Homo-oligomer: A and B are copies of this chain.
């Protein structure tokens, strides 16, 4: 009887969930029999299916419904591309080393772990939080994070810590180093001091070709593959914006010390959209469809004040009030919300947080993260950034290849201005080898200079001087200056890019957390209630015995199943698991 199911009878137990996921091979550490490698995971059959279904729905929700242009570009990328994009110089995290053991820690994570532990210890000392349970499970868990001694802190210290934690992503490397010194932050595993933060580039490096002379990187995002193909995509879309390209694929980040399961990994599947839009018109034609979608927003002003208080607001209102910068950004934030809720993310554990100024990636002008709450706190699962014209501009400048839109103007822009007309014959005769130089000087004049020259010519002649000090005398026979009408019928511009970027592994893991509960009568009986849309197993045909006589019968049932032959993508329709074997 469904009405009696109580999914909240037991508190969420992460270890119980992880044991289930491991036992059923949703995923497991890669190279486990070789001792594993931090931050690398393999998906087993149910994990692969769940991922495939999440991707399939993503493709439908975004690529098909929004008529996006799909791409599949390479992971291996020659170094010059990431030099231009800024990743070689700036795609880095700050790391510190334990001064005695040499262990490497990510600086911001160190500060976060230690200060959070102190705040928790303070709460414990004040009797606000429950005493930690003294069973083995908790001891084991605690070892992995900073030690939380139950020490009461001064009120102003607690306030300072909380303020630091609220704007942690806003600190530079040197600032993180200063925080470590000021607050005596040490490596919690060893209690040793740590070095000053140094930058570590997160891209995996390799080399292309047999001679070793072409350095390359594994892409840390799929985006550059979109931008480099912009001209071809624009042609494909008949030269018009807005349009979007989309790509689902693997990316790589050589994380400093990945520890959080699927939430921070070195190799992951992303889904990225690059939506190209006129910088002067960021409206979206289907914005009305999402205007009333109510979101939970945490804007940058609130965070800068050291607070994490959210606002509930419709997308329409947020755009109207300028909290979300434009309709297109708002449209995608709403579509991201719809997608996440559709595949089973609990909307009450989903918020959109705006990046603070220092936190933003080097290419972004505005950015909102879809953060999903889970047992580790709030986790960024989707970024939605306005990259402006950054990428297209830098690649165009570097390669000399124009990455622009040329738009026929409905109403040509008519302007009047002074223009010089040269009598080539006289000009050539008069100035000979210097003719081109003289013409260039005149052509580079602005309106006031041309008007002055026009006046002088009307009086008989004018003298101009070249950069190297040579003087030339101009006459009305050599050139005339007249007011002319110009009609501009083409407008050329570099489009801006709105980029929704999805970390599918993080979404998959938080979805599993949101879907897990234990039966009221038996806490050991864990359940994953995944929406049918993404559930890896939809039909289970279970023979009562493993006896061979059953095999042909089971096969017949399989073939006759109404699901056979048209399963959703990646679905294992039938699992033949005998009850007794």
**A residues near B, CB below 8 A?**
24-25, 28, 30-34, 37-38, 40-45, 47-49, 51-52, 56, 59-60, 63-64, 67, 69-78, 80-81, 95, 102, 104, 200, 204-211, 214, 216, 218, 225, 228-229, 231-233, 235-236, 238-240, 249-250, 252, 254, 256-257, 266-267, 269, 395, 399, 401, 403, 567, 569-574, 576-578, 581
Contacts and interface: CB of A to CB of B under 8 A. Distances in A.
5 contacts: A31-B77, A42-B71, A43-B71, A47-B72, A60-B567
B236 A45 contact: yes
Given A42-B73, A102-B211, A210-B257, 16 more contacts: A32-B228, A37-B214, A43-B72, A44-B69, A44-B233, A45-B69, A45-B233, A47-B72, A48-B70, A48-B72, A76-B266, A206-B206, A206-B218, A209-B256, A210-B256, A238-B581
A56 B200 contact: no
Contacts of A73: 30, 42-43
B399 A33 contact: yes
The 5 closest A-B pairs by CB, nearest first: A43-B72, A42-B73, A48-B70, A33-B401, A569-B569
A574 B31 contact: no
B229 A76 contact: no
Given A56-B569, A204-B76, A569-B569, A574 B71 contact: no
A232 B28 contact: yes
A70 B236 contact: no
B567 A64 contact: yes
A444 to B, nearest CB: 30
Given A48-B71, A232-B25, A80 B34 contact: yes
Given A74-B40, A228-B32, A67 B574 contact: yes
A240 to B, nearest CB: 8
Given A70-B52, A228-B34, A250 B75 contact: yes
Q: Is the interface of A mostly helix, strand, loop or mixed?
A: mixed
Contacts of A24: 236
A182 to B, nearest CB: 25
A272 to B, nearest CB: 13
B72 A42 contact: yes
Contact of A577 (B228, B238, B399): B238
Contacts of A33: 228, 231, 395, 399, 401, 403
Nearest to A205: B206
Contact of A238 (B30, B48, B578): B578
Contacts of A34: 78, 80-81, 228, 399
Given A43-B73, A49-B70, A571 B64 contact: yes
A37 B72 contact: no
A38 B238 CA distance: 29
A256 B211 CA distance: 9
Most B-side CB within 10 Å, residue of A74, A216, A403, A567: A74
